Amino acid sequence: MIALVLLGILALVVGGCVCVVWAERGGPRWARAVATVTLGAGELLRSFGKNRDQGLGQSADDGD
């Protein structure tokens, strides 16, 4: 069951990446919309990861 969920997530990620490339080459409007959502989700995850790393760095410094 978990494998199916992971495969579904992988399919969404690959599909989003394909839409980003297709939109760069002048794809249809829906592909550009999917590309915008994909890039936005990537930025959101990146900022979440940065905030998490900063929090971990602060807690490590407090222990010294």
> Are the CB atoms for 2 and 15 separated by under 8 Å?
no
pLDDT of 2 reads 95
pLDDT of 11 reads 96
pLDDT of 42 reads 92
> Are the CB atoms for 39 and 54 separated by under 8 Å?
no
- Residues 6 or more apart whose Cβ sits within 8 Å of residue 15: 34
Query: For residues 31 and 22, what is the distance between their CA atoms, to the nearest angstrom?
Result: 7
Q: Write out the chain's pLDDT in tens, 64 residues.
A: 999 999 999 999 999 999 999 999 999 999 999 999 999 999 999 998 887 777 666 555 455 5
Query: For residues 39 and 25, what is the distance between their CA atoms, to the nearest angstrom?
Result: 16
